[in-house]
C-alpha cells in the first residue's frame, strides 16, 4: 500500500486576446503558441496514456477565458492558418538547411511535428480540443477544475460582490461547457485573503490551493506542514504548494529546465534569420518567435550549440526518474513522521510544460508512467480523490498570500500598476449598483448590463497588472485596461441615461459575447441594496436627520420615521441618512424607506467635541449623498434641524437641488437665549439653514413665528405642518399586578412624565407642584421617564421637597414600556417651558391618557383646554397642582378627556394627511426647479 | 490595501466641494491635509506615521512601508485642528499577514543574454527575473 500521494496540478490560463477587428492580431499569437507548444501536446500525451491504460492522475485547471478561446470558431480558423504558415516555414527551412545536417534534421523534425499537430487538431479534435479534455475527465484520472472568470486577482478587489462574481461566473462557465460543476477552483495567482473561504463555500467550492507560506502561516499552525490539506472555518479544503517539487522545476541551481541539453527558449529563427525571408510566411509586421529553435541551452553564455531533440528526450526521461525518486524519498520521510497520509501538492502553470520548457510534456509523460508503474511508495492522486479518502483532519484560518514574488501582492500592486485600482474599484461599485437596480432588466438593459460585466471582468484580468509590472507588453496591457474601462463607462452612461443599445454596444459585444454568453449580474448583486440603485419615476426625497429609530434622542427620530414611512406608503420614494452610534445596521430598508446609518470616525466628547462630531457626520452625509444623488435621476433634499445643516446646504449648492428644511426647535428657544459660544455657533448654523432653504416647515404656528422672528425670514416662506401620530405604534396594554407594582403601589394613582430631562421640559415645575398635590392626594406616585443633564438636580429637588419616596425616576424606557405607562397612568403631565410642538402630547392623546400640558408653543395649539386635556400657564406650579388635583378628584373627567383626546389624535393628526401636505411642497418645489435644472 | 506583510498601499480621492464643506463646517482655516496611518491595538488605535500633504492634492496615493506583520492598520485623511486632528476620511482596516515568505527569487534557470523575444504574458522569463508567477 502506498504511503502517500502526489497531486500534480497544472493551471492553464491565457487572457482573452481574441480580436474581432484584426485578422492577424499580434497578441492572438500567444494563444497559438501555447496551443502548439503546450495544450495540444499535453492533450495528445494524456490520450496516449489513456489508450495504454496507464493509471495516471492529474488535475488540470482551465481558465474560462482560455476555454472561450479554445472553443472560438474564428480563433480556430486563425489557428489553423497559423499552423499552415508554420508548416510552410518549416518546409522552407528543410530546403534552406540542406547541407547543414544538424539543422536540417531539426527542420525536418519541426516540419513533422507541426504536420502531426495540424492533422490531429483538425481530424481528431475537429478544431476544438476541450472535448478531448472533457472526454479524459470522464474516467476520473484527469480532474478538471477552473478559475475565476477572467483571472482577476481577488485580494485587491474592493467588494466581495465582485470577488463572488469572478468566482461564480468562472464556475458557471465551466459548468456550461462540461455539464457539471468543478469541485475545486484555482485561485488566480494563488491569491488568498481572509474571508475568501466563505465566498468559496457559498459557491460550493470544496477545495483550492495556496502557496506554501499561505498554509504554513495559518492559525493554528498546521500539524502536517503543507503535506495534508486543512479546512478553513467556512469548510473549504486548502492544499498548499510543496516547495521541494516547485524548486526542482524552477530553481536556478537545481531546476531541470536549465539543463544544457534542453532547447534554448530565447534563440528562435524568428529573430535570427532575415526579416524579409520570414515575412513570406508570417503575417505580422514585427519579428516574432516562430517556435522553430535550433539551439540548446548549452551554458550561461551566448555561445550555443545545436539542439538535439532525441538527446533532450532522454534527458527529460532521466529527470522524470529523478523527480520520481525524490518523491519516493520525500513521501517515505513524511509518512514516517506524520499521522495523516501525506500528500505532496505540486502545482505549475500548464504553459511551463511545452511553451517555455519544450521538453516539459515529455518529462510529464515519463513521470506519470513511472509513478503508475512503481506505486509502492506513493501513488498519483487528485484533490477530490484525496479528500474522499481521508478528508481534512485540521481546521485553520488563513491569511493573505499569493504565489507571486515575495508571496503577497507586490507583483500586482506597485508603482508601475497601482493606477489600476482606483479605476477598478469605482467600476466595481458602479456595476453592483446597476445590477441591484435592475433585478429584472428588460432585454435592452440586460444586454447593456451583461456587456458592462464583461468589460469590467476583462479589465480585471491579473495579466494586465502582471505585464505592467514586468515591463513586457505593458503598452498592450495599458491599452486593454483603458479600452475596457472606457467601454464600461460608456455603457454606464447608456444605462444611466436610459439610452438604447446601439451600434456601439454591438461593436463591443462582437469582442466579448463569446465570453460568458450567459451572464446574470443580478445574481451577484446584493438582494437588498439601496436607493443608490433605484431609478424611481418619482423624485426621490433624501432626508437628512441625525436621529432615526432605533437611535432615539427625542421626538425628531419618530417624526422622521413616521413621515418617511407614510410618504413611502403613498408611493413617494424616500431615503434617510442618519447617524449610527450603536450596533444598528449601516443600511436597511425599513417600512419602504431606504435608511443609511453613518458613524462619525471620532467619538463625541472623547476625541472631539459634540459640535465637531456633528460636522464629521455632515461630511459623511455629503459623501454618501453625492453617490445617492448621482445614481438617481431626481432628488429633493429634506433636512431636519441644524445638525444636518452643513451637508444639506453644501449639497444644495453643489448639486443644485431643492432643499426643504424642517426646523423642529431653535437653540434660542431651547435655552431661552444665547449664552455660550456653542449656542451661538448652533444659532449661526440655524440662521444659514433658514436662509438657504427653499422652503421651511414648522410644526406649529408658534414655531413659525419664532423662526421668522429669529432668522428674519418671511412667514410666506414657512409652511406649518403639524406633527402626526400613528396610533397603532402607541396603543398598548395597561400594566397590571406585579408589572404595575414596579412603578406604584396598588392604591397609588400614577402621574406620568416622559421626555428628556432638560430645562425646557419643565420637570422642575412638576416637582414643585407635587408639594401641593401630595397633602391632598397622598396616594399618588409620580413616574418620570427619560434621561438628561437635569436628572441629578431633579433627584435633589425631590429630596429637598420631601417627595423623594413619591417620585420614581425610571431612566430611559423603551417605546413599549413608555406606551404601557401612558396606558396605565391616571394623568400624564407635560409641563414644558418651551415646546415647539410636543409629540409626546399627541402620543399620550392617542393612548387615551388624561393629559395636562403647559400652554406653551405647539403644546398649546395641540391641546384644547377642557376638551382634550387641561392646560396651565407655563412655569406656574400652583396652576399645575390645581389641574392635577382636579383630575385626580374626578375619574369621569379623566375618562372623558382621554377619550376625546384619542378621537382627535386619530383624526386630526393622521400622518396620512400630513404626509400629503409635505408631498405637495416637494412637488411644487420640484416643478419650480425643473426649468433651472434643464438649463443646467 | 495589503501589498506585502510589511507594506500597505492607500489611495484617496476627495472633491474640492468636500474640502470646502470641511473648511466651512469647522470655522477654521487649515492649510493642508494629513495622511495618518493608524494601528489598531487592544486599547484603541494609535498613530504610527503621518505625512503632510497640501490641500491641492485631492487625489493621491502612498505606500507605507516597514510596518509590522500581524497588525491591523487603517488610514485617515485628516486636518490639523485645535492642536489635534479632525478626521475627514477613514479607510477600512487591513490586516498585515505574517511574514512567512523569504524574499528570495528563484532566478534564471538559463541565461541567454542577447535577443529576447517578446515573451508571452505567462512566459516566466527567468532570464530577466520575471519568474514571479509561481516563481
Name the minimum distance, in Å, from the CA of B67 to any CA of chain A: 14
Do residues A284 and A24 make contact, with C-beta atoms less than 8 angstroms apart? yes
| Residues A411-421 as b or e (16 or more Cβ within 10 Å = b) | bbbbeebbebb
Phi-psi region of B27 (alpha: psi -120 to 50; beta: other; left: phi over 0): left
Question: Which residue of B86, B114, B122 is the best one to mutate when testing the A interface, meaning the one whose CB has the most A CBs within 10 A?
Answer: B122
Q: Give residue-wise pLDDT tens across range B36-95.
A: 999 998 888 889 998 888 766 678 999 999 999 999 999 999 888 777 888 889 999 999
Give residue B106's pLDDT band: very low, low, confident or very high (50, 70, 90): very low
3-state secondary structure of A666: coil
Name the minimum distance, in Å, from the CA of B118 to any CA of chain A: 7
10 Å Cβ neighbour count for A529? Answer: 19
CA-only gyration radius of chain B, Å: 21
Please state, in angstroms and as integers, the Cα–Cα distance from residue A903 to each residue in A301, A678, A726, A908, following that order: 101, 42, 13, 8
Beta-ladder partners of A662: A640, A697
Q: Please report the domains of chain A, with CATH numbers, ordered by start residue.
A: 4-71+128-244+341-407 (3.20.110.10), 420-524 (1.20.1430.10), 541-720 (3.40.50.2000), 744-909 (3.40.50.2000)
Give dist(CA A132, CA A119) in Å, integer: 15
Residues of B in contact with A470 (CB under 8 A): 125, 130, 132
- The whole-number pLDDT of residue B113 equals 32
Residues of A in contact with B131 (CB under 8 A): 250, 405
Are the Cβ atoms of B81 and A400 closer than 8 angstroms?
no
Alpha helices in A438-587 (DSSP H): 443-460, 462-470, 474-496, 503-512, 521-524, 555-569
Residues of B in contact with A469 (CB under 8 A): 132
Q: Which chain A residue shows the shortest CA-CA distance from B64?
A: A414
Residues of A in contact with B81 (CB under 8 A): 612
Name the minimum distance, in Å, from the CA of A386 to any CA of chain B: 23
Beta-ladder partners of A593: A590
> Both ends of chain B: CA-CA distance in Å?
23
Which cell is A632 given? 438617481
Q: Which chain B residue shows the shortest CA-CA distance from A646?
A: B25
- The whole-number pLDDT of residue B18 equals 85
Beta-ladder partners of A841: none
Are the Cβ atoms of B121 and A602 closer than 8 angstroms?
no
Are the Cβ atoms of A252 and B117 closer than 8 angstroms?
no
Sheet of strand A230-231, all strands in order from the earlier edge strand to the far edge: A207-210, A237-240, A230-231, A394-395
Do residues B8 and B1 make contact, with C-beta atoms less than 8 angstroms apart? yes
Give dist(CA A556, CA A615) in Å, integer: 19
Residues of A in contact with B106 (CB under 8 A): 247, 250-252, 255
Question: Which residue of A299, A470, A580, A603 is the best one to mutate when testing the B interface, meaning the one whose CB has the most B CBs within 10 A?
Answer: A470
Nearest to A844 by CA among A869, A864, A866: A869
A-B CB pairs within 8 A amount to: 213
Do residues A868 and A904 make contact, with C-beta atoms less than 8 angstroms apart? yes
Nearest Cβ partner of B103 from A406, A422, A473?
A: A406
- The whole-number pLDDT of residue A511 equals 57
- The whole-number pLDDT of residue A915 equals 94
Name the minimum distance, in Å, from the CA of A618 to any CA of chain B: 9
Q: Which chain B residue shows the shortest CA-CA distance from A650?
A: B21
Are the Cβ atoms of B101 and A289 closer than 8 angstroms?
no
Nearest Cβ partner of B97 from A217, A352, A405?
A: A217
CA-only gyration radius of chain A, Å: 38
Please state, in angstroms and as integers, the Cα–Cα distance from residue A853 to each residue in A782, A873, B43, following that order: 15, 9, 48
Nearest Cβ partner of B98 from A217, A413, A601?
A: A217
Name the minimum distance, in Å, from the CA of A289 to any CA of chain B: 6
Give dist(CA A152, CA A166) in Å, integer: 7
The label of the residue with cell 545545436 reads A306
10 Å Cβ neighbour count for A457? Answer: 29
Count H helices, E strands: chain A?
37, 24
User: What phi, psi does B95 have (nearest 5°)?
Assistant: -100, 120
Name the minimum distance, in Å, from the CA of A600 to any CA of chain B: 9
Give dist(CA A333, CA A338) in Å, integer: 9
Name the minimum distance, in Å, from the CA of A447 to any CA of chain B: 31
Are the Cβ atoms of B121 and A463 closer than 8 angstroms?
yes
Nearest Cβ partner of A403 from B13, B105, B135?
A: B135
Name the minimum distance, in Å, from the CA of A865 to any CA of chain B: 44
Residues of B in contact with A642 (CB under 8 A): none
Q: Please report the domains of chain B, with CATH numbers, ordered by start residue.
A: 8-95 (2.60.40), 104-135 (no CATH)
Beta-ladder partners of B84: B81
- The whole-number pLDDT of residue A567 equals 95
Name the minimum distance, in Å, from the CA of B41 to any CA of chain A: 16
ipTM confidence score: 0.81
Give dist(CA A305, CA A539) in Å, integer: 77
Alpha helices in A97-178 (DSSP H): 101-119, 130-137, 160-178
Give residue B20's pLDDT band: very low, low, confident or very high (50, 70, 90): confident
pLDDT at B5 over 80: yes
Beta-ladder partners of A142: A58
Sheet of strand A635-640, all strands in order from the earlier edge strand to the far edge: A587-590, A593-598, A574-579, A540-544, A635-640, A659-662, A695-698, A718-720
Name the minimum distance, in Å, from the CA of B49 to any CA of chain A: 18
10 Å Cβ neighbour count for A329? Answer: 11
Are the Cβ atoms of B101 and A401 closer than 8 angstroms?
yes
- The whole-number pLDDT of residue A241 equals 94
Residues of B in contact with A15 (CB under 8 A): 121
Question: Which residue of B109, B115, B131 is the best one to mutate when testing the A interface, meaning the one whose CB has the most A CBs within 10 A?
Answer: B109
Question: Which residue of B120, B124, B130 is the best one to mutate when testing the A interface, meaning the one whose CB has the most A CBs within 10 A?
Answer: B120
Question: Which residue of B11, B25, B131 is the best one to mutate when testing the A interface, meaning the one whose CB has the most A CBs within 10 A?
Answer: B25
Are the Cβ atoms of A422 and B11 closer than 8 angstroms?
yes
Beta-ladder partners of A661: A639, A696
3-state secondary structure of A595: strand
Name the minimum distance, in Å, from the CA of B79 to any CA of chain A: 12
Are the Cβ atoms of A681 and B27 closer than 8 angstroms?
yes
3-state secondary structure of A210: strand
DSSP state of A647: H
Are the Cβ atoms of B116 and A266 closer than 8 angstroms?
yes
- The whole-number pLDDT of residue A932 equals 59
Give dist(CA A25, CA A28) in Å, integer: 6
- The whole-number pLDDT of residue A499 equals 75
Are the Cβ atoms of A155 and B2 closer than 8 angstroms?
yes
Nearest Cβ partner of A623 from B18, B115, B120?
A: B18
Residues of B in contact with A255 (CB under 8 A): 106, 109
Running along chain A, 936 residues long, what does each successive block of 10 average in pLDDT? 94 93 90 96 96 96 96 95 97 95 95 97 95 93 97 96 94 95 97 96 97 93 93 97 86 78 91 92 89 90 89 94 92 92 96 93 96 93 97 94 92 96 94 83 86 94 94 90 95 83 65 72 65 58 93 84 94 92 82 89 82 91 85 82 94 91 93 91 94 95 94 95 88 90 94 93 94 94 94 92 92 92 96 88 93 93 92 96 96 95 90 93 86 56
Residues of A in contact with B121 (CB under 8 A): 14-15, 30, 463, 466-467, 472-473, 477
Q: Which chain A residue shows the shortest CA-CA distance from B6?
A: A408
Are the Cβ atoms of A266 and B25 closer than 8 angstroms?
no
Amino acid at each position: 500500500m502506498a504511503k502517500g500521494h502526489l497531486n500534480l496540478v497544472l493551471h492553464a490560463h491565457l487572457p482573452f486576446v481574441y480580436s474581432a477587428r484584426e485578422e492577424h492580431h499580434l497578441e492572438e499569437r500567444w494563444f497559438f503558441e501555447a496551443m502548439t507548444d503546450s495544450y495540444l501536446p499535453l492533450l495528445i500525451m494524456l490520450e496516449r496514456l489513456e489508450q495504454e491504460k496507464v493509471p495516471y492522475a492529474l488535475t488540470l485547471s482551465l481558465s474560462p477565458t482560455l476555454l472561450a478561446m479554445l472553443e472560438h470558431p474564428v480563433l480556430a480558423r486563425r489557428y489553423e492558418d497559423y499552423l499552415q504558415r508554420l508548416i510552410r516555414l518549416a518546409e522552407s527551412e528543410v530546403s534552406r538547411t540542406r547541407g547543414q545536417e544538424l539543422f536540417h534534421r531539426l527542420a525536418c523534425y519541426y516540419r513533422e511535428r507541426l504536420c502531426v499537430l495540424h492533422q490531429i487538431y483538425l481530424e481528431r479534435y475537429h478544431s476544438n480540443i476541450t472535448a478531448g479534455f472533457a472526454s479524459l475527465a470522464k474516467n476520473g484520472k484527469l480532474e478538471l477544475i477552473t478559475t475565476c472568470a477572467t483571472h482577476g486577482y481577488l485580494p485587491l478587489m474592493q467588494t466581495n460582490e465582485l470577488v463572488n462574481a469572478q468566482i461564480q461566473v468562472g464556475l458557471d462557465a465551466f459548468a456550461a461547457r462540461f455539464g457539471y460543476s468543478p469541485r475545486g477552483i484555482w485561485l488566480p495567482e494563488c491569491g488568498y485573503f481572509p474571508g475568501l473561504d466563505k465566498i468559496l463555500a457559498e459557491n460550493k467550492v470544496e477545495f483550492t490551493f495556496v502557496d506554501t507560506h499561505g498554509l504554513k502561516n495559518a492559525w493554528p499552525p498546521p500539524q502536517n506542514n503543507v503535506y495534508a490539506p486543512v479546512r478553513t472555518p467556512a469548510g473549504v479544503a486548502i492544499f498548499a504548494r510543496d516547495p521541494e517539487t516547485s524548486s526542482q522545476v524552477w530553481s536556478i541551481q537545481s531546476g531541470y529546465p536549465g539543463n544544457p541539453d534542453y532547447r534554448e527558449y530565447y534563440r528562435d529563427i524568428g529573430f535570427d534569420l532575415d526579416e524579409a525571408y520570414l515575412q513570406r510566411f508570417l503575417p505580422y509586421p514585427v519579428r516574432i518567435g516562430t517556435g522553430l529553435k535550433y539551439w540548446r541551452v548549452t551554458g550561461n553564455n551566448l555561445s550555443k550549440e545545436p539542439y538535439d531533440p532525441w538527446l533532450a528526450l532522454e534527458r527529460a526521461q532521466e529527470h522524470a526518474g529523478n523527480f520520481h525518486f525524490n518523491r519516493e524519498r520525500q513521501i517515505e520521510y513524511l509518512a514516517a513522521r506524520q499521522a495523516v497520509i501525506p500528500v505532496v501538492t505540486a502545482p505549475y502553470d500548464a504553459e511551463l510544460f511545452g511553451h517555455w520548457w519544450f521538453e516539459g510534456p515529455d518529462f510529464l509523460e515519463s513521470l506519470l508512467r513511472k509513478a503508475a508503474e512503481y506505486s509502492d511508495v506513493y501513488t498519483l492522486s487528485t484533490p477530490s480523490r484525496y479528500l474522499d479518502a481521508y478528508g481534512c483532519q485540521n481546521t485553520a484560518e488563513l491569511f493573505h498570500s499569493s504565489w507571486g514574488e515575495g508571496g503577497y501582492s507586490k507583483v500586482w500592486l506597485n508603482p508601475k500598476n497601482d493606477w489600476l485600482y482606483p479605476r477598478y474599484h469605482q467600476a466595481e461599485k458602479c456595476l453592483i449598483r446597476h445590477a441591484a437596480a435592475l433585478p429584472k432588466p428588460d432585454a435592452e438593459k440586460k444586454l447593456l448590463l451583461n456587456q458592462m460585466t464583461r468589460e469590467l471582468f476583462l479589465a480585471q484580468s491579473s495579466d494586465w497588472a502582471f505585464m505592467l509590472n514586468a515591463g513586457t507588453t505593458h503598452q498592450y496591457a495599458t491599452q486593454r485596461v483603458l479600452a475596457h474601462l472606457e467601454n464600461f463607462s460608456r455603457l454606464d452612461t447608456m444605462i444611466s441615461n436610459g439610452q438604447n443599445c446601439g451600434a456601439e454596444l454591438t461593436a463591443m459585444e462582437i469582442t466579448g459575447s463569446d465570453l460568458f454568453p450567459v451572464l446574470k449580474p443580478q445574481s451577484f448583486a446584493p438582494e437588498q441594496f439601496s436607493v443608490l440603485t433605484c431609478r424611481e419615476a418619482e423624485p426621490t426625497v433624501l432626508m437628512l436627520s441625525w436621529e432615526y429609530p432605533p437611535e432615539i434622542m427625542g421626538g425628531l427620530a419618530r417624526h422622521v420615521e413616521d413621515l418617511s414611512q407614510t410618504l413611502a406608503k403613498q408611493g413617494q420614494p424616500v431615503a434617510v441618512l442618519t447617524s449610527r452610534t450603536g450596533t444598528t445596521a449601516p443600511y436597511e430598508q425599513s417600512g419602504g424607506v431606504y435608511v443609511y446609518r453613518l458613524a462619525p470616525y471620532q467619538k463625541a466628547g472623547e476625541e472631539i467635541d459634540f459640535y465637531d462630531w456633528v460636522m464629521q457626520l455632515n461630511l459623511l452625509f455629503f459623501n454618501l449623498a453625492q453617490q445617492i444623488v448621482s445614481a438617481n435621476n431626481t432628488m429633493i433634499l429634506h433636512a431636519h434641524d441644524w445638525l444636518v445643516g452643513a451637508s444639506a446646504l453644501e449639497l444644495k449648492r453643489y448639486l443644485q437641488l431643492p432643499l426643504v428644511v424642517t426646523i423642529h426647535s431653535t437653540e434660542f428657544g431651547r435655552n431661552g437665549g444665547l449664552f455660550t459660544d456653542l449656542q451661538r455657533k448652533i444659532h449661526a448654523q440655524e440662521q444659514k439653514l433658514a436662509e438657504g432653504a427653499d422652503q421651511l416647515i414648522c410644526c406649529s404656528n408658534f414655531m413659525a413665528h419664532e423662526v421668522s422672528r429669529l432668522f428674519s425670514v418671511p412667514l410666506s416662506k414657512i409652511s406649518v405642518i403639524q406633527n402626526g401620530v400613528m396610533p397603532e405604534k402607541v396603543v398598548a396594554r395597561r400594566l397590571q399586578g406585579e408589572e404595575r407594582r414596579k412603578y406604584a403601589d396598588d392604591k397609588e394613582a400614577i402621574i406620568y412624565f416622559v421626555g428628556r430631562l432638560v430645562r425646557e421640559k419643565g420637570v422642575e415645575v412638576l416637582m414643585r407642584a407635587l408639594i401641593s398635590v401630595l397633602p391632598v392626594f397622598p396616594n399618588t406616585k409620580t413616574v418620570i421617564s427619560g434621561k438628561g443633564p437635569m436628572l441629578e438636580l431633579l433627584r435633589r429637588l425631590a429630596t429637598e421637597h420631601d417627595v423623594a419616596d413619591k417620585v420614581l425616576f425610571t431612566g430611559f424606557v423603551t417605546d413599549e414600556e413608555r406606551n404601557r405607562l401612558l396606558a396605565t397612568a391616571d394623568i400624564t403631565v407635560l409641563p414644558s417651558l418651551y415646546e415647539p410642538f410636543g409629540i409626546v402630547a399627541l402620543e399620550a392623546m392617542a393612548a387615551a391618557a388624561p393629559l395636562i400640558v403647559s400652554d406653551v408653543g405647539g403644546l398649546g395649539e395641540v391641546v384644547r383646554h377642557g376638551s382634550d386635556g387641561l392646560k396651565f400657564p407655563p412655569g406656574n406650579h400652583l396652576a399645575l397642582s390645581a389641574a392635577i388635583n382636579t383630575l385626580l378628584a374626578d375619574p369621569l373627567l379623566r375618562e372623558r378627556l382621554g377619550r376625546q383626546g384619542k378621537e382627535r389624535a386619530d383624526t386630526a393628526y393622521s400622518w396620512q394627511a400630513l404626509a400629503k401636505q409635505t408631498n405637495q411642497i416637494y412637488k411644487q418645489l420640484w416643478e419650480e426647479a425643473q426649468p433651472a435644472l434643464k438649463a443646467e | 490595501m495589503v501589498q506585502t506583510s510589511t507594506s500597505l498601499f492607500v489611495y484617496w480621492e476627495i472633491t474640492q466641494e468636500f474640502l470646502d464643506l470641511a473648511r466651512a463646517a469647522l470655522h477654521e482655516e487649515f492649510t493642508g491635509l494629513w495622511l495618518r496611518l493608524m494601528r489598531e491595538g487592544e486599547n484603541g488605535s494609535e498613530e504610527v506615521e503621518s505625512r503632510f500633504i497640501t490641500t491641492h492634492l485631492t487625489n493621491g496615493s502612498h505606500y507605507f512601508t516597514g510596518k509590522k506583520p500581524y497588525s491591523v492598520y487603517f488610514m485617515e485623511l485628516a486636518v490639523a485642528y485645535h492642536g489635534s486632528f479632525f478626521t475627514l476620511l477613514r479607510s477600512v482596516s487591513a490586516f498585515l499577514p505574517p511574514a512567512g515568505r523569504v524574499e528570495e527569487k528563484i532566478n534564471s534557470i538559463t541565461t541567454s543574454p542577447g535577443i529576447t523575444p517578446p515573451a508571452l504574458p505567462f512566459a516566466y522569463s527567468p532570464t530577466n527575473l520575471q519568474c514571479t508567477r509561481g516563481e
